Amino acid sequence: MKPILVTTLSFLLFALTTNFPIAFTQDVEQVKDTDGNFVVAHGKYYLYPASGTTGGGVKLGMQGNQWSSIVFEDEDTFLVSEHTPSQGFEVVLSDSQVAESYKWVMDNEIGQIPYIGIKGINDNRTFINGWFIIQKHGSGYKLQFCPISQVCVDIGRKKFDGEDVWRLVLNTLNIEDIFEFVFVRATA
């Protein structure tokens, strides 16, 4: 082999092996609560507005005679989460005596903006397949829903006609308030 070829190949191999780890690492910012501690799996947290928004927090809401939606109003609800901000996660409500299932889903009722709901065991509603992620936003965090093979969309707040609460909705038209929140650790 010619010395120039060997030197070039050696340099190329060196350059590739030293730059690959940098290229393939992703700096993921971990989610923190209001005390500056990392949000941990199976921890209990309240979701409160990040700033100036009226209302108290997120809770399980009734639709008809069943617990089926996640709403934003003056009451508190715990959130249990397993996630990092850029990875999909499953959200589970800890108030287990009120609903059949505690998995958050994107409910796609006909004639309405898709909203975050609770999937029941024998549920015949239509859901959008995907996952939720948490992203840093302003002074807190925001939720996004990522439909399979589509771009992630922010979660906003919308008050539907005849309802006293705000629903957390898929903000496809960018007309709803972005739901910006902070994690407040629940004390035992």
Q: Residue 168 has what pLDDT?
A: 77
Return the structure tokens found at 131. Answer: 């996952």
To which residue do tokens 């990392």 refer?
A: 38
Q: Residue 36 has what pLDDT?
A: 92
Cβ pair 85, 131 in contact under 8 A: no
Q: Which residues of 59-93 are buried (b: 16+ CB within 10 A; e: fewer)?
A: bbbebeeebbbbbbbeeebbbbbebbbeeebebbb
Q: Residue 176 has what pLDDT?
A: 60
Chunked mean pLDDT (size 10), the chain, 188 residues: 47 44 54 86 74 57 47 44 40 42 61 66 65 84 81 80 73 73 76
The CATH number given to 45-185 is 2.80.10.50
Is the full-model pTM beyond 0.75? Answer: no
For 6, phi then psi, to 5°, come to -65, -45
The residue ranges of every structural domain in the chain are 45-185
Helix or strand holding residue 169 (H, E): strand 166-170
Q: Residue 152 has what pLDDT?
A: 85
